[in-house]
Structure 1
């Protein structure tokens, strides 16, 4: 307990090494600690403690200490005054209770006994903790900690549908690719038109249009595009009046071309 008090015992005056000293009355930490020590001297259970006897012992303790030191700490004196008041209430008959009044003397005595039991439990717990073996004093840690072996086992609880769905998801994720389509090498209408225009002056009288196809070998797709482009180019020249076209038979019969004139 800190305060402008002294360090006292029963054998002589106190020394004052500073302005604020620590009060230590026979090793007690406060008035409640003194009460607990006096209660233990009764050698009875704290639940069956005699508050009257305890109050007399505490008042006797305070009077004995004040014979040597008049400047007793205020907390001890307040506790002494409160115990004297409690003792008087316990000795006198209790008046009729009225609403809003203070607790009765029996209730105040029970509260004091409860606080003493709680203090005793706290001191017992603290003592039990302090007597436990301490690291670095009673036992020591190993220099090198042992490694921990971790064993992992995978457990799968799935149905056939789950397996099929997982496989399908994997296939979808891994099969997504970018499709690159290369431009085909086709014979354009412009190429066919230029070819026919170059041959206008050399065209004999009526000749088969297929004879003006370019020589394309080994590429069926390009050959098909050449046939279509040449036919479209011939239609365009016929529209311009630069060539004549005729087809003597029915569908799919040969188409003939001739330079100049009106289409037959």
Structure 2
């Protein structure tokens, strides 16, 4: 695949962010994590990223190994202790991971509050000529989930591949689809702009060709980064829609 199609995981914040994303998405109790479920979902995201040849940092793979190790420990039969200690004194294999997630969540919440305060203070001195915030989205979609993360985007792609049974996208033997990223960005933007009521994310992937899927996904990320389009989702697991920023101003 063309080197320019690869996405560096600078956009991704880290494996703990992915775990917190899954915990929120599946409404999991952080104090009682179902390891088998969270490991399965985590590995599905990792496999999707690897399949798209994303430049996954080693820390993601280390976390994958950690989750698999915890899962294995949880599956081991409980041995009777010779001194008949109560079960409450038995160490929970999830304990360390749970504490890491709780501390990291606190750190993120504090960082977000500080960022909000900084933004509020900046507004007292300067006012950019045009600032689009999700609160400015038309009323008909104000109840939708607009805080879309990179993990939501990867999840949408993962679900699209499942729905279309493209678990193994292939390159056509007839013609290789090496599309310049700039060209695909223009095509995606035009497609989104022509659908004022929102373009279903899946509609951008009519071809199972791996190159086409990857370059389209990167094009969407670049357009979102450039604030030319934005993504909206009613709620977790439902279809994701793309809108043009121009339609919202």
Larger radius of gyration: 1
TM-score range, shorter chain: 0.3 to 0.5
TM-score with structure 1 setting the length: 0.38
